[in-house]
Amino acid sequence: MMMSAPRFISRLIERLPKVRGRYSENATIAGITWFRVGGPAEILFRPADEADLAAFLQRKPADVPVTVMGVGSNLLVRDGGIAGVVVRLGRGFAAIDVDDMQVRAGAMALDYNVALTCRESSLAGFEFLSGIPGTIGGGLRMNAGAYGREVKDIVTSVHALDANGIAHELDSSAWGPCYRGCGVPDEWIFTRAEMIGVPGNQSEITRAISYVQSARADTQPIRSRTGGSTFANPDGYKAWQLIDQSGCRGLTIGGAMVSKKHCNFLINTGTATATDLELLGEEVRLRVLKVTGIELEWEIRRIGMPIESAHV
């Protein structure tokens, strides 16, 4: 049975600056994550636009932590919730503009929508994005990849606000993308990206997107409550093969299960808590290390507090 989420009782909201966007106190956020688990945000802030977000960062108390959430597709929020302010970007960060071969997309633009928008402009090179269930901002943070390409292959520059609300434009070298990561400090917030494609044939682009979608449906548990690839691939290995080799396919803890369809995916079967999912992931890591000698690293981002640490 799922544990009830704790509730924050502090009045942090009284210390925060006035904004044009919206604050929500003790906000339930499990419903906006793909796992559908986790405790509340002490404060959920939806900025109106980049200027509103910058002003908030410039004026908020220095001791207030800030956490950024996208669509929660590769995220596990712990059961104790998230202290401080959770920033959820909205429509003001979701625009997609195409000019010749140049594409500008806000951090909250869905990867899939970017692929479709580029298709309508007969711009190729973005088809792989249709296989990444997230946003451009999340793709920048982890240099997301699928089907032989990564975000770094299309990005020419990125825009971000630092912890003090100061805007920065970074080229590909300053952005520093690497395998499932980048060189930008964790506390910076991506706001948009400039990308480049190549002229393409709309019918061929459509076929490529259809192939990606079909391959994803055939090999991944996309209709389950999951969080995408759980562990990064170690050099020279596939994480799912190591997990399978270690006898973890179908392994369960509480309401959490290692997918039988693709064992680098964890699934909430309907009653899982975030604790179940994290414990299962750690059990998988232990078994893989014991059998293969290889230590898997989490690819899913885990944030927030265990339930016993929550301020209630």
Q: Indicate the CATH number for domain 94-218.
A: 3.30.465.10
Is residue 73 within 8 Å of residue 226, measured between CB atoms? no
- The DSSP output letter for 227 is -
- Going by C-alpha positions, the residue among 93, 142, 86, 132 that lies closest to residue 303 is 86
> Coil, strand, or helix at residue 285?
helix
145 Cβ contact partners less than 8 Å away, ≥ 6 residues apart:
128, 132, 151, 180
Using alpha carbons, list the distances in angstroms from residue 176 to 43, 150, 165, 171, 173: 31, 13, 21, 9, 5
Tell me, which fold does domain 233-296 have in CATH?
3.90.78
Cβ 122 vs Cβ 202: under 8 Å = yes
- Count other C-beta atoms under 10 Å from residue 41's C-beta: 27
Which helix (H) or strand (E) segment holds residue 216: the answer is: helix 202-219
Sign, CA dihedral 191-197-200-205, equals: negative
Active-site annotation, residues: 180, 229, 299
Q: How many CA atoms lie within 13 A of 303 on its CB side?
A: 22
What pLDDT does residue 4 have? Answer: 52
As a residue count, the chain comes to 312
Q: How far is CA 227 from CA 9, 221, 298, in A?
A: 29, 10, 12
Looking at residue 8, its pLDDT comes to: 74
Give phi and psi for 202, each to the nearest 5: -60, -40
pTM, rounded to two decimals: 0.90
What are the extents of the domains in the chain?
12-91, 94-218, 233-296
In order along its 312 residues, the chain shows pLDDT tens digits of 445 556 776 689 999 999 999 999 999 999 999 999 999 999 999 999 999 999 999 999 999 999 999 899 899 999 999 999 999 999 899 999 999 999 999 999 999 999 999 999 999 999 999 999 899 999 999 999 988 999 999 999 999 999 999 999 999 889 999 999 999 999 999 999 999 999 999 999 999 999 999 998 888 998 899 998 999 999 999 999 999 999 999 999 999 999 999 999 999 999 999 999 999 999 999 999 999 999 999 999 999 999 875 444
Q: Do domains 12-91 and 233-296 have the same CATH topology?
A: no
* CATH number corresponding to 12-91: 3.30.43.10
pLDDT of residue 307: 84
CA distance 154 to 173: 13
Alpha helices in 15-167 (DSSP H): 50-59, 111-120, 136-142
User: Exposure string (b/e) for 83-93, b if CB count within 10 Å is 16 or more?
Assistant: bbbbbbbeebb
In terms of Cα–Cα distance, which of 95, 97, 118 is closest to 108? 95
3-state secondary structure of 42: strand
Residue 199: its pLDDT value, please? 97
Taking the CA atoms of residue 128, residue 202, residue 211 and residue 36 in that order, the dihedral angle to the nearest 10 degrees is: 50
Nearest-angstrom CA–CA distance, 275 and 253: 9
Q: What is the dihedral of CA 27, 30, 31, 36, to 10 degrees?
A: -170
Q: Which of 23, 231, 205, 45 is nearest to 118 (CA)?
A: 205
Q: What are phi and psi of 86, to 5 degrees?
A: -100, 120
